[in-house]
Amino acid sequence: KQEVTQIPAALSVPEGENLVLNCSFTDSAIYNLQWFRQDPGKGLTSLLLIQSSQREQTSGRLNASLDKSSGRSTLYIAASQPGDSATYLCAVESGGYQKVTFGTGTKLQVIP
């Protein structure tokens, strides 16, 4: 059974700082990994999707990497802004078509 862990559960940083969010998964036989952000009481916004054959994906100030062998993914946010404050979730598709397991999320607060 796939298990997805995100550490830390919460993170507070000053504006402008570069930061890394971590996602670990137990079963390395994945199809893809997706990063989302969730604002309080809202739905999920897709940030980046990394296919199992890829090592990283970039979108603007965001860069996500994937290391299947070690069961890890990182989301790098450059020059953080208060608008980046949200909960960040990673989700792994594995173990069958469209079998997606979500992590518990990292709640990020960027302080002006």
Partner 1 sequence: SAVISQKPSRDICQRGTSLTIQCQVDSQVTMMFWYRQQPGQSLTLIATANQGSEATYESGFVIDKFPISRPNLTFSTLTVSNMSPEDSSIYLCSVLPVSNTGELFFGEGSRLTVL
Query: What residue ranges bind partner 1 (CB under 8 A)?
Result: 31-32, 34, 36, 41-46, 49, 51, 89, 91, 93, 98, 100, 102-105
Considering the complex, state which of residue 18 and residue 46 has its C-beta at the smaller distance from partner 1.
46
Beta-strand (E) ranges in the chain? Answer: 4-7, 10-14, 19-25, 30-38, 44-51, 56-59, 62-67, 72-77, 86-94, 100-102, 106-111
Q: Smallest distance from the beta carbon of 101 to partner 1, in angstroms? A: 9
Considering the complex, state which of residue 18 and residue 109 has its C-beta at the smaller distance from partner 1.
109
Considering the complex, state which of residue 4 and residue 77 has its C-beta at the smaller distance from partner 1.
4
Q: Smallest distance from the beta carbon of 45 to partner 1, in angstroms? A: 8
Which two structure tokens, joined as six digits, stand for 106?
């990292």
Rounded Cα–Cα distance for residues 55 and 69 (Å):
11
Considering the complex, state which of residue 18 and residue 99 has its C-beta at the smaller distance from partner 1.
99
Q: CB count, 10 Å around CB of 77?
A: 21
What is residue 64's three-state secondary structure?
strand
